[in-house]
Each structure stands twice: as structure tokens, then as C-alpha cells.
């Protein structure tokens, strides 16, 4: 994203998405406190986001990874191997594009749990880091918030939700409203290459990967697999995306996230609801971190009014999709973190309790979106340990609440 984009946040978007979700606006079924606990407690929501743990996803990604460099390939191969281990379908969108410093090779990575599904919710982040020439004071830029941490969150989310997606495939349809339709929606992760400008952000020097794959999918007709029997025979790969949820510039404390698009305001509200319920249940408590203690934590999200007069946007990887009618939820800190596009955007910029909170929030939000049911078998000692830790972190006037 570019610095001028923040100045354009208040730009009115003249048109809304041409492609609302097939299922439309709806109420998402809420997990119980016990179900949320299972998502919070296992796997450990911070282990894969800790840059000090050499085995974590984040540690493997947090290196300079400019497009068409060996480090970019290392990170891409790590992402692919992690998702292949889950037996997800992998697409490598490999192409050459012209840049201000010459032709460059880019490779988007697309991982889909069930490629035969007629619809998908697509979570995305860019895995490249910004190019600075040798001698520049920011040469060696790491991009911890921009966007190594969001990529690590997506990988952890895939590992956490994969067994729940497997369970859903074998679950009898309950007869609940939307349940059968939702079971035809799969989870897809997109890791964009070439989000950053090489010289100065413009329509041609930015979001190389997103521009390429959005155009490609807009003209690629979806294959009529068995599960797609009811799908329009003219459907394109792009039209199978129910929502594109893009994560960027996340990991510093006290982010401010707002709703940008009218057609996904209900989805934004569902995310806020998940945050409120987790907060009331004391799920954000983390050791002695007072900013996450029950009754003391502050919301990540700016209040949204049904009567908002405008919806603006920040330039990012979602724009080529938005322009082609895809429904978008953009989760980006605005104003940008103070470390943006500087060498200070390294591991020291990341606030571990904030990363943990983003992780458990996305686990709950996407589980509710996809009607997943966290397993109940691990309650026992895990619950008692969590409850004891939570009570220690509580202020005298707060209580554990079984919220829905």
C-alpha cells in the first residue's frame, strides 16, 4: 500500500461490489464459550507467531523477500510445503511483468482446501517485502507487519481449521438455515507476490500479483466438478469467491480497523461481535499484559454506524478484485504503523499479545463463517488450567462468562 493511499481513505467509493455473496447477508452461528476455548487453547495461538521461536511460521517468513530473489523463493517454498502437508490443493501463478527496474518474475501462491467446492471464502496477504536498493537506509527491510505476520496468521489458521473442515465434510446436514449452502463453501488462502512498488506506488508499479491473478481468474471458467452441479455454467474462478478478506499491516499494539464497504458491513460487524464475546470470556488475557486483561482491553475496531455517509478505501491487493465485483473485507491498520516502510518494521515492532489476539479472533470468526464445530474432547485439564490462569489475570469485578 502507498503513503498517498492513506490520504485517500476518505475517498468516496462511487459504486458498490457487483458480486455480493451468493448467500447474502446473514447471521453467523455463534460458538459457545467452550467451543471458543478449544480454538484458543490448541494449538497454541502464539507459538507460530513468535519471531523468537526458530520453528515458528513467522521466523521462517521474517527475512528480506523481495520478488525474484532467493529469499523470496525460500519463503514461497515454506508456505507451499506447510500447506501441502495438509494436503491442500496448491496453485502457483507464475508470470513475468515489467517494473521500473526491469522485467521481474512473480509467483502468487493459492491454497484451497477443497478445489471442487462451488464457492470459497478467500483470505489473503502479500508475502513479498519492499525493495530498497543497496545503499538505501532501508536496505534489508524485513516487513514484520508488512506482511510477514499476516502470512503467519493465515498458515496457523489453515493448520487449526483443517481438521474442523474435514469433520464438516462428513457431518450430516442439520437442517439449519444456510447450513447446506455453507458446507459448499471452502476455505482458500492467497499469498500475493509483488504487492510493493519498486519505485513509487502507481497503477502500474504496485500489486503486480493481485492484478495478474484477478485478471486471469476473471477470464478462467470454473470447471464443472460434481460439487459444482448447481453452479452457473458460465461461472469464472473469480465469481466463485464469496468474499476476499485481506490482512495487512497487523502486529503492532492498538490497531485501528474500520469498515470500508457497505456490502461487507455485516461481516465487519460479525468480526466485532466475535471480539466482544472473546473479550467478555476473558480470552485475551495474557500473563501480566494489562492491555489484554479482562475489563481493560480496548477494541481493535472503529465504531460503525448504519448511517455512515461514505465508504472510502486504501489501495492494496484487494483493488483489482473489487473492481471486478468481488466482495471485500479489508483488515488493515489505519493510520499505518509508525514503523511502516522502515527498518524498524522488524520483530521488535510486533506485540505478541496483539498477535495472539488476532490469531484467536480469526480462528473464531472464520469458524463461525464456515459453520465449523471445534471438538469438545479436549476440555478436561486444559479448561481447568485456562480457567485458573484467567482468574489470576482478572480484576476483582470481572467474571468468566459463558457467552454466545
The number of distinct structural domains making up the chain is 1
Residue 103's DSSP bridge partners are: 98
**Residue 258 domain boundaries:** 45-223+232-375
In a domain, 49, yes or no: yes
> pLDDT tens digit string along 16-54?
444 445 677 888 999 998 899 888 888 999 999 999 999
> pLDDT tens digit string along 73-124?
999 999 999 999 999 999 999 999 999 999 999 999 999 999 999 999 999 9
In a domain, 318, yes or no: yes
Residues in the chain: 404
In a domain, 156, yes or no: yes
Rounded Cα distance between 31 and 332, Å, is: 25
User: What angle do the packed helices 149-169 and 70-84 form, to 10 degrees?
Assistant: 20
In a domain, 385, yes or no: no
**DSSP state, residue 148:** I
In a domain, 343, yes or no: yes
> pLDDT tens digit string along 155-203?
999 999 999 999 998 876 655 546 667 888 999 999 999 999 999 999 9
**Range list of β-strands (E), 51-202:** 89-99, 102-112, 119-126, 185-192
- Please, what sign has the CA dihedral across residues 6, 64, 344, 45? positive
Residue among 28, 119, 178 nearest 327 (CA) = 119
> pLDDT tens digit string along 273-287?
999 999 999 999 999
In a domain, 398, yes or no: no
List residues with catalytic annotation: 195, 248
The torsion of the CA quartet 60, 63, 67, 68, rounded to 10 degrees, works out to -80
Q: Name the percent of the chain lying above pLDDT 70.
A: 81
For position 81, which CATH number holds? 3.40.630.10
Residue among 271, 279, 280, 341 nearest 302 (CA) = 271
> pLDDT tens digit string along 249-269?
999 999 999 999 999 999 999
C-alpha cell at 32: 459457545
Q: Does the pLDDT at position 208 exceed 90?
A: yes
Identify whether the C-beta of residue 62 lies closer than 8 Å to the C-beta of residue 390: no
Amino acid at each position: 500500500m502507498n503513503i498517498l493511499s492513506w490520504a485517500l481513505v476518505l475517498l468516496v467509493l462511487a459504486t458498490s461490489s457487483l458480486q455480493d455473496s451468493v448467500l447474502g447477508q446473514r447471521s453467523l452461528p455463534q460458538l459457545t464459550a467452550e467451543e471458543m476455548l478449544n480454538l484458543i487453547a490448541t494449538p497454541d495461538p502464539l507459538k507460530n507467531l513468535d519471531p523468537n521461536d526458530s520453528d515458528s511460521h513467522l521466523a521462517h517468513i521474517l527475512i528480506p523477500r523481495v520478488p525474484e530473489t532467493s529469499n523470496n523463493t525460500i519463503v514461497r517454498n515454506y508456505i507451499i510445503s506447510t500447506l501441502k502437508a495438509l494436503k491442500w490443493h496448491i496453485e502457483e501463478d507464475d508470470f513475468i511483468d515489467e517494473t521500473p527496474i526491469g522485467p521481474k518474475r512473480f509467483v502468487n501462491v493459492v491454497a484451497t482446501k477443497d478445489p471442487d467446492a462451488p464457492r470459497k471464502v478467500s483470505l489473503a496477504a502479500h508475502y513479498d517485502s519492499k525493495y530498497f536498493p543497496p545503499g538505501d537506509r532501508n536496505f534489508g527491510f524485513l516487513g514484520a507487519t508488512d506482511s510477514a505476520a499476516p502470512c503467519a496468521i493465515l498458515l496457523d489458521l489453515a493448520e487449526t481449521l483443517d481438521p474442523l473442515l474435514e469433520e464438516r465434510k462428513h457431518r450430516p446436514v442439520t437442517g439449519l438455515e444456510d447450513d447446506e449452502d455453507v458446507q459448499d463453501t471452502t476455505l482458500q488462502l492467497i499469498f500475493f507476490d509483488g504487492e510493493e512498488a519498486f519505485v513509487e506506488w502507481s497503477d502500474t508499479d504496485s500489486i503486480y500479483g493481485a492484478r495478474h491473478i484477478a485478471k486471469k481468474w476473471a477470464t478462467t471458467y470454473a470447471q464443472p466438478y460434481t460439487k459444482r452441479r448447481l453452479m452457473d455454467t458460465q461461472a469464472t474462478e473469480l465469481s466463485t469467491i464469496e468474499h476476499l478478506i485481506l490482512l495487512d499491516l497487523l502486529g503492532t499494539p492498538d490497531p485501528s480497523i474500520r469498515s470500508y464497504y457497505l456490502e461487507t458491513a455485516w461481516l465487519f460487524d460479525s468480526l466485532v461481535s466475535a471480539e466482544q464475546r472473546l473479550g467478555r470470556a476473558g480470552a485475551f488475557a495474557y500473563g501480566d499484559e494489562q492491555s489484554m486483561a479482562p475489563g481493560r482491553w480496548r477494541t481493535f475496531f472503529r465504531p460503525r454506524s448504519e448511517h455512515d455517509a461514505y465508504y472510502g478505501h486504501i489501495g492494496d491487493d484487494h483493488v483489482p478484485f473489487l473492481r471486478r465485483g468481488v466482495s471485500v473485507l479489508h483488515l488493515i491498520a489505519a493510520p499505518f504503523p509508525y514503523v511502516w516502510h522502515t527498518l524498524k518494521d522488524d520483530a521488535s515492532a510486533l506485540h505478541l499479545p496483539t498477535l495472539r489476539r488476532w490469531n484467536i479472533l480469526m480462528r473464531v470468526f472464520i469458524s463461525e463463517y464456515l459453520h465449523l464445530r471445534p471438538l469438545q474432547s479436549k476440555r478436561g485439564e486444559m479448561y481447568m488450567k485456562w480457567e485458573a490462569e484467567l482468574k489470576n489475570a482478572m480484576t476483582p469485578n470481572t467474571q468468566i462468562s459463558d457467552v454466545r
